[in-house]
Structure 1
Amino acid sequence: MSLRVNGTILSTSLIVTIVLAYWPLISYRVTTYEKKSFPASGKAWLLNIFEFAGIYLLAAILFTLVCLVLQKTWPFKKINSYLAFNSLSELSQKLHTIKEWLYKKRAIFYVGIFFYFFTFVQIFLLEKKEGWKQTIQVALKVFAQRQSILILTTFIIMAFFLLLLLLTNRFWYVFSITLVINLLLTVSSVLKVTLREEPVFPSDLKMLNSISELLAMVSPILIGAGIIVVVFLTISSIIIQRKLQHRYALKFNWKKRVIGILTLLVLLSGVFFINHKNSPSYLLFNLFRVNKTFFNQGDAVRENGPIIQFLNNIDIEIMPEPEGYSKEKIEEIMKKYDIEAENINKTRHDWLNNQTLILNLSESFSDPSRLPNVTVSGNPIPEISQIKKDTTSGLMLSSGYGGGTANIEWQGLTGLDISSLSPTLVTPYTQLVDTQQVSPSITDLFDEKIAIHPFTASLYKRKEVFEKFGFDQFYYVDSPDQLTYTDKIARNRYISDESAYKETLKALQSNTETTQFIQLSTMQNHMPYGDFYDQNDFSFEGTAVIDSKKHELVTFMQGLNYTDKAVKEFIEELDKIQKPITFVFYGDHLPPLYSGNDMKKYGLEHHETDYFIYSNAYSRGQMQKLNKKVVSPNNFSALAFEQANIKVTPFYALLTQVANDLPAATIDPVSSVSNRYNGKQIFVTDKNKMISENELTKAQKEILADYNYIQYDLTAGEQYSASWAQQTVKK
């Protein structure tokens, strides 16, 4: 008796078995889970092995049957007819046919080869290099370890190229358009990674309406070179296209073109589902080993390249849904903090009719003497140092380094925590506020609300965002509500902090009758730091700043000194105003000047700025100094009301518990050197020690859970608590 096995079944079974054996889930189970000990029972261990083997065999049989069925379909038979051969002469004939086909389509393949090497250059430019030896090592590393990324990126570029080609049938126009788009993405990615340790995000495209302001931050030489390249490509593509139109024109009939266009549209639409688990594009990106660690965007763009990392950030989730989220759960939490607000307000004073709050975000303000490996000669901020000793003050945790101003601003205005959001939501102003039907913020509590931003307002869609937040006036450069004070210091391109404070005083003095909120963002110390000032009074030593950045830090410290003097004068004027004013001052992030330090070692220090809360002379009689050494931006409103010793609404009762009973929360500052590594939340105690959520007490975890339910409801949920969060304090 002989056993005969069909060769197709045998070969399919072997291929499926090998593929399953190398599947990451299988290898993880074998190398990790199966090493799990069963000390109490050898039988349990043996049953576990048999269970795994049974599942593996069942999966192999199932996938083999699926593959066998697919082999009966028309597409497979068509491909098989092209590839199958029964003799060497037939093989030779098929190879000759393939060679002729490749020759006819050689222009397309040349484009693919060109963009393959272009992708290599993209990733190579993003890698840090010091000296020619490391440059060679980086080049070899990219070729040896990033082949899957190079190939996947080339496929994506070519899909886009072919789609445009099928639509227009203009080869050289399409090639030039594709090249220009990739050049723009490459240059902007290299610049952004260098300055802010983050890639270009899809949300950044919303800032293109402020292109003139963005270009002002770029070297004129680079802008000039870019214009020359674009003009050259435009002229050359027009000439070549006209001369060689017939050689490069597609010969497809309209049916094939339509099928090709529809197929490519379907394939490219997968970018909107990259982060949907088990979607085809999700599985494809995993197959090509794409780095999906959103909390480490800087390293991820170096590994994935700017194109794939850009696509990674298209499919976003606002915030993971907490388990048990429902209308009933939100109503339960609202009732709880209705009672908490009543308890807090028993010992608080009523709001006066002209109660006033100022939130002052001071661009890049931070004490450089606190940084490791920096020794500053003199103190650039003596007045603020003294103020911090006399009032509520400490360190503020920033989610950014060298940038991310709008994210800090969003937290201060809304009382919400960016570290609780999804890793793919990197800019709430441009990605979140638009999607919210209602956007509760601190402005809801005040009669008059004014924003002062002595710079352009088009970045981060501030005009639209502030309108949604309910600001009555918004003062910025070229605004309908025109700035009165626009003086600058020496050659600094930004309006001085002294002018910004004069503008604020004007707004304060214009209304002494009703409650007033002012959001002030000063801009004097914004990067870049050129040769601005005629005299620089401060110097430093240390390895934290590389040679090419040393003069920039000297300029930055001189700017801090000008800010210090302006703040002193502003506070003196606040003390003369006959209404209760609470003034919150804080830096949003550090400047990108300390690249000589190991960010993973000193990550926390590089994400801490200075803050203080000051009560003017009129309100000092009822104020109470707080002992809060480390805070998050979302704590400021609750802390300001507590220092002013005035009543709160139930939502701000929740924020008060978060500020007082939870350690300050932020995005893990030492998991990477990235500016944005959302999704990995940590807490920092008043002793400046980092802890995880698991180290919180049971009572703290309960408060955190309440806060997360409300934040989810307001940002990604049904907004059952929106009206509750917007209610005002009864006077």
Structure 2
Amino acid sequence: MDNEQRQADAGNVDIEELTIRTIDPEQARAMPPRGAHGTRTVWTVVYAVLFLLADYAALAIMQWGVALTSTRVQLSSANEGLGAMWHKMFTQGNCVLLLNLLLIGLIYLILLMATNRFWVATPILLSAAAVIAAAEKMKIATRYEAILPSDLNFLGGNTGDLMKFLPPEAGGIIGVAAAIIVVSIAIAVVCWRLDPRRGALVSGGNKAVGACTRILLMLLPALAVAGYATSVGSVDSWGYHVSRGMGDKPSMWDSVYDAQRNGVVVSFLRQVDPKVMDEPADYSRETMDEVAARYAKEAAAINRTRTHSLDDSTVVYVLSESFSDPTRVPGVELNKDPMPDIRKIKGETTSGLMLSSGYGGGTANLEYMGLTGLSMVNFDASLTSPYQQLVPGACWTPSVNQLWGPPSNSIGLHPYEPSMYSRETNYKKLGFSHFYALKGDDVIAHQDRIDDSPYVSDEATYRSTVEEIRKTDDNQFLQVITMQNHMPYNDWYKDNEFTVTDAPGSDKPLTDKEKRSIRTYAKGMELTDEATKDFLEELDDIDKPITVVFYGDHLPGIYSTAGADARNSVGLHLTDYFIWSNKASWSHDTKIEDSAYTSPNFFIAQAAEQMNAKVSPYIGFLTRMHEHVAAMEPPVVNTIQGWDRIPEGQAIYLNQDGEPMAYADMDAETKQLLADYRLIQYDITAGANYLKDTDFMNLPK
């Protein structure tokens, strides 16, 4: 009897187990069979290894997107990619490769937890990387510019416009990206079939615990990536220190090189949320209305004695690359004067010295200040390059050229890559109809070089400028940025008669390297001097009023001996400028007093005074500001600055005699003007644009 019962019981068990497996096959699959613990361990290791491989593959795909397939003129010495990142990690301890992998890995983890399927999340990651790489490659092919955060605006109402920017090689690029997507999906499907877990990462056990685990593993990486993206653009933030500590070295002058050098992910996220300015405590619509009213009165007072309008003349801003008088540099002695003609011109018209925020670089920041009247002094130290970090995403970009009316009256010329500092894009946003450069839609007419120089000569640039002025009888605003005297200085010129020696009484002799560079640079100054004289003579022959604002953007970074002495800090940031009007102008032979020192943000106010032109409330403000502070720039250094911005310290303010001014010693009116300046600049660049609804920027009718 006992044996019969045991057999019946055994039969019942078998039937029950069979019933369970038949009713719920998914649960049966999830139940670990005999030996399943070892299989689970093996697949866990497989997932971990494949996670690292997919993470690296995603980075490699995106870096392919910014790898150049053709030779282009660049200021960077060479393109950099994954190989360079590996090399830097093992030879210099630069871990920017790991930083990119970490950021991609966090995003990958979010996808894994969101889908809970390894073989779903992985092809999504690789497909997204392929799409990003294809977009990068096509944008670089058309504009030589990496994807910027501001480009995400196209994903809204302007998506259709993307078709206008497809390069001829778009088919091949899209084909490669599609192949990556198809292959990644195919491999994932095969692996899914081989994987007894079907790629499930969190399965079995308590469902609530599993759900909480997944949510936590999505939330924590998302917070880390978001925190990094919103903090890395602010000096002294944790994201900033992590990024710099792991080897991020921003190269803001060239977005493609930046993405090659520092990785697509790092270079993009660094520009997502740069800190522009701290909001002034009293900022509000009411405050800005008061500011607008205050300077409307100032403008009215100035305009009582003015008889012309700015747009009664053609105005040409000439930013002369690295132009400055080398004979002012301590310890440098030349055998002859490299700029006798410009020295004579300066003696006959409004002229002086311009305080520059750069040394050996930073051209676009001086250019930005000249075009907007805004000052780098007011920006947070986190904002290193307005052209890269601010202008592309700005809602309102008022600039002085807009005072000349429609874009057709605003022309830009720069005989170099239009993508440098994203100029081609930014000039359109600033209201220029054409930006003539070496490549792109508008190619500059004259591209002659001198001897072995790799850069277009100033004489050729001036010829292109004169032709643009002669094309129309209408008055225009022209922004001209030269390239002839850009570093390095490699003995380019034949028959260079300049010699460089140590100045009498110098404490420390110049190095041979300095002498070679200064000798080439001095010859370049002489060639610029001659070309500028000829340029002004040609403008004198044109029968319409023309005013030229000529200035050097910064000194070349070749004066290491003088730069070693901190007492030379301000002197190594003073370049030459003049404001000149041709014979057809009522301002010919005008020479404004109190012009010995300036900074580029004041140029439009000085040009208006030169031309006896009526001003807007904004230019009225700049006029009053310049009367109280002759020049202003952020703290300066004697070495070529990287893109960690400017060292800590007080901004540099100079009085009319070129002497430093301490903020604590300024009178109440000057402090009020500086406070108003911060309010104005905050409203334009980071605030609610209250001034846009007023006549603050408008010239009197």
TM-score with structure 2 length normalisation?
0.66
Contact 2:629–2:654, Cα closer than 8 Å, also in 1:
no
Does the 8 A contact of 2:150 with 2:392 survive in 1?
no
Q: 2: CA distance between counterparts of 1:353 and 1:313?
A: 36
Aligned to 2:475, which of 508, 512, 515?
515
Say whether the 8 Å CA contact 1:401–1:675 is kept in structure 2. Answer: no
Asked if residue 489 in structure 1 is aligned to residue 450 in structure 2, the reply is: yes
CA contact (8 A) 1:544 1:594 kept: no
The structure 1 residue matched to 2:673, chosen from 703, 724, 727, is 703
Find the residue that maps to 1:606 and give its secondary structure.
helix
Equivalence for 2:547: 582
In 2, are the aligned partners of 1:599 and 1:673 still within 8 Å (CA)? Answer: no
- CA deviations on 1:435-454 (whole Å, 9 max, x unpaired) are 32221111122142222222
| Aligned residue number for residue 76 of structure 1 | none
Q: 1:505 to 1:162 in 2, by over 3 A?
A: same
State whether residues 54 and 122 of structure 2, in contact with CA within 8 Å, keep that contact through their aligned partners in structure 1: no
Contact 1:441 1:726 in 2 (8 A): no
Q: Output the amino acid matched with 1:469.
A: L
| C-alpha RMSD of the superposition | 5.1
Residue 686 of structure 2 is matched in structure 1 by: 716
Question: Residues of 1 paired with 2:310 and 2:565: CA distance?
Answer: 46
Matching residue's letter, 2:621: L
Shift of 1:707: 1.7
Provide, for residues 126-176 of structure 1, a one-character-per-residue CA deviation record: whole Å limited to 9, x for no partner: 7xxxxxxxxxxxx9xx9xxx9xx99999966875787899689989x99xx
Question: 2 CA distance for matches of 1:421 and 1:111?
Answer: 40
Structure 1 spans left out of the alignment, 5+ residues: 1-97, 113-117, 127-138, 182-199, 207-237, 298-304
Offset at residue 321 of structure 1 (A): 1.0
The answer to whether the aligner puts 1:564 opposite 2:521 as a matched pair is no
How far does the alpha carbon of each residue in 1:509-562 deviate from its partner, in whole angstroms, 9 at most, with x for none?
3333x3321111111112333342222221213568654454333222212111
SS of structure 1 residue aligned to 2:291: helix
Which whole-Å CA distance do the structure 1 matches of 2:668 and 2:246 have between them?
35
Q: CA deviation at 1:693?
A: 2.6
Give the equivalent residue in structure 2 for 1:371.
Answer: 329
User: For the structure 1 residues 277 and 486, does the alpha-carbon distance in structure 2 shift closer, same or farther, using more than 3 Å as the test?
Assistant: closer
What is the SS of the residue equivalent to 1:589?
Answer: coil
Q: Tell me if the contact between 1:122 and 1:306 (Cα under 8 Å) persists in the aligned partners.
A: no
The residue number in structure 2 matching 1:639 is 606
8 Å contact kept, 2:234–2:274 = no
Distance change in 2, residues 1:620/1:161 (3 Å)? same
- Indicate the residue corresponding to 1:406 in structure 2: 364
Corresponding residue number in structure 2 for 1:535: 495
Q: Counterparts of 1:556 and 1:168 in 2: how far apart (Å)?
A: 60
Whole-Å separation in 2 of the counterparts to 1:416 and 1:367: 26
After superposing the two structures, state which structure 1 stretch, 447-456 or 156-165, moved more: 156-165
The 8 Å contact of residues 410 and 429 in structure 1, kept in 2 or not, is answered as: yes
> Could you state the TM-score of these two structures normalised by the residue count of structure 1?
0.63
Partner amino acid for 1:526? H
Q: Which amino acid aligns with 2:699?
A: T
Structure 1 residues 668-714: Cα deviation after superposition (integer angstroms, max 9, x where no partner): 00498635535853312334333343232211011111222111111
Aligned residue among 629, 646, 649 for 2:596: 629
Partner of 2:429: 468
* Residue 633 of structure 1, CA deviation: 0.8
Q: Contact (CA 8 Å) 1:603, 1:673: kept in 2 or not? A: no
1:336-347 equivalences under 5 Å are 336-347=294-305
Letter in 2 for 1:256: L
Q: Which amino acid is the alignment partner of residue 274 of structure 2?
A: I
Aligned residue number for residue 394 of structure 2: 436
Q: Encode CA deviations 1:617-636: one digit per residue, 9 max, x unaligned.
A: 23345834232222111111
> Residues 116-265 of structure 1 correspond to what in structure 2 (within 5 A)?
122=88, 159=106, 254-256=199-201, 264-265=221-222
Work out whether 1:390 is the aligned partner of 2:348.
yes
**Secondary structure of the corresponding residue to residue 489 of structure 1:** coil
SS at match of 1:389: helix
Q: 1:427 to 1:352 in 2, by over 3 A?
A: closer
CA–CA separation in structure 1 for the residues paired with 2:223 and 2:583: 66
> Distance between the aligned counterparts of 1:402 and 1:532, measured in 2?
19
Structure 1 vs Structure 2: percent identity of aligned residues?
34
**How many angstroms apart in 1 are the aligned matches of 2:555 and 2:382?**
23
The counterpart of 2:283, out of the listed 325, 335, 349, is 325
Name the count of aligned residue pairs.
556
Structure 2 partner of 1:32 = none
Deviations 1:30-58 (A, max 9, x none): xxxxxxxxxxxxxxxxxxxxxxxxxxxxx
Q: Give me the whole-angstrom Cα distance separating, in 1, the residues matched to 2:463 and 2:557.
A: 29
Deviation of 1:102 after TM superposition, in Å, equals 10
- Tell me which of 438, 453, 473 is aligned to 1:477: 438
- 2:206 counterpart residue number: none
- Structure 2 residue aligned with 1:415, among 367, 370, 373? 373
> Is 2:518 aligned against 1:553?
yes
Structure 2 residue 382 is matched with structure 1 residue 424: yes
Mapped to 2, the partners of 1:472 and 1:120 lie a distance apart of 43
Provide the rounded CA distance (Å) in 2 between the counterparts of 1:602 and 1:574: 37
Cα distance in 2 between the residues matched to 1:545 and 1:366: 19
TM superposition shift of 1:594? 2.5
Amino acid at match of 2:437: Y
Structure 2 letter corresponding to 1:272: A
Verify the 8 A CA contact 1:363 1:526 in the aligned structure 2.
Answer: yes
Unaligned runs of 5+ in 2: 1-40, 56-83, 113-117, 134-144, 152-182, 203-213, 253-260, 503-507
Distance 2:546 2:244 in 1: 55
Residues 720, 343 of structure 1: alpha-carbon distance in 2 compared, 3 angstrom cutoff: same
Is the aligned partner of 1:268 residue 2:225? yes
Letter of the structure 2 residue corresponding to residue 416 of structure 1: L
